[in-house]
């Protein structure tokens, strides 16, 4: 289907060029002159290096941002998406060209991810700070769970298919819509996509162009929502962009040979992610929220115990 593949390439170029142009226009209109720090660039390089190898980057970037205390928690979702536009675009083209996957499946899954991202960005960009902290804390724990399941061999065995048909095709496309929406709150799509396609019988290498290609579409689409509201940090996003391009280019040649070391890398990432998740939930006052929710239950139990004690005394 050469026509479908050409249409896919043209669509990727148009959506990414549009998003970059809107970023430049937004920076001029809002007078955003913040420059990236060395730490921003380093974070972008390391996390996108891991991202290209299939480990993902959103959870790690969120963890590192939280550890150093900037940008503000409510700006992290937008910064993640804006800073990933160019690296994701670069990775998409390299993997889509290098790995042959059914172009119709790839195009439909990328389009559904873009639709989910547009919906998710519109919601997340208007969420209050505490809600974002709670959602992202939960997202980090979910990511850590997927990484742990991967290392422990809990995930399904690999299939061999490079395409899907029938109900499997529909399930994959519908699920990618949901994953596109969840990307906006920091739940990366790499591990869930690998699980999904593995359950549907696809070869592990087929997940790379689909999950990275989804990023190449949904990230610029989601970023348009954050540009509209201004809920992103310009300097850190630029740092993620610069470092991300370098990290992606360095990691791409190693994809086939680095798999023996991914397990150890994932365990190290899990430790950092869990720490950041706890910090994020503490910032949101999660303990106080649990107490408030459970207070009526404890009160009911206390009243029951008092009544039982009164009956025994009588």
pLDDT at 98: 73
Mean pLDDT is highest, among 91-100, 234-243, 270-279, for 234-243
CA 169 – CA 312 distance, rounded (Å)? 65
Count of Cβ atoms closer than 10 Å to residue 278 Cβ: 15
Cβ-contact 113, 176 below 8 angstroms: yes
pLDDT at 166: 86
pLDDT at 308: 44
Burial 44-59 (b: 16+ CB within 10 A, else e): bbbbbbbbbbbbbbbb
What is the average pLDDT score of the chain?
A: 77
pLDDT in tens, 5-53: 777 788 888 989 999 999 999 999 999 888 999 999 999 999 888 888 7
Verdict on whether the full-model pTM lies above 0.75 = no
pLDDT in tens, 170-225: 998 988 888 777 776 666 666 677 767 777 777 767 777 887 787 788 788 888 88
Nearest to 57 by CA among 29, 79, 35: 79
Joined tokens for residue 252: 């791409």
Residue 67 phi, psi (nearest 5):
-65, -35
pLDDT at 293: 45
């Amino acid at each position: 289907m050469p026509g479908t593949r050409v249409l896919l390439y043209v669509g990727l170029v148009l959506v990414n060029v549009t998003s970059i142009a809107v970023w430049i226009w937004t920076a001029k209109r809002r007078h955003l002159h913040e420059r990236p720090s060395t730490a921003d660039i380093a974070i972008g390089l390391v996390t996108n290096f891991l991202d290209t190898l299939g480990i993902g980057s959103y959870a790690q970037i969120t963890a590192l941002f939280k550890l150093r205390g900037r940008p503000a928690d409510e700006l992290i979702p937008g910064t993640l998406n804006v800073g990933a536009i160019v690296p994701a675009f670069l990775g998409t083209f390299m993997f889509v060209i290098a790995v042959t996957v059914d172009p119709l499946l790839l195009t439909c899954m990328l389009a559904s991810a873009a639709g989910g991202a547009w919906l998710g960005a519109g919601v997340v960009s208007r969420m209050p700070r505490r809600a974002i902290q709670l959602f992202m804390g939960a997202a980090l724990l979910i990511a850590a769970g997927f990484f742990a399941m991967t290392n422990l061999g809990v995930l399904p065995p690999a299939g061999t298919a490079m395409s899907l048909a029938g109900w499997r095709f529909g399930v994959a496309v519908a699920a990618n819509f949901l994953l596109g929406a969840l990307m906006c709150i920091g739940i990366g799509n790499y591990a869930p996509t690998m699980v999904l396609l593995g359950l549907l019988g696809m070869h592990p290498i087929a997940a790379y162009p689909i999950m990275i290609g989804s990023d190449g579409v949904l990230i610029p689409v989601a970023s348009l929502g954050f540009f509209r509201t201004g809920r992103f940090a310009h300097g850190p996003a630029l740092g993620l962009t610069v470092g991300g391009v370098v990290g992606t280019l360095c990691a791409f040649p190693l994809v086939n040979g680095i798999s023996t070391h991914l397990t150890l890398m994932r365990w190290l990432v899990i430790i950092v992610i869990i720490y950041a998740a706890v910090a994020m939930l503490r910032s949101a006052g999660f303990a106080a929220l649990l107490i408030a929710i459970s207070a009526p239950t404890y009160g009911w139990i206390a009243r029951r115990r008092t009544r039982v004690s009164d009956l025994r005394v009588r």
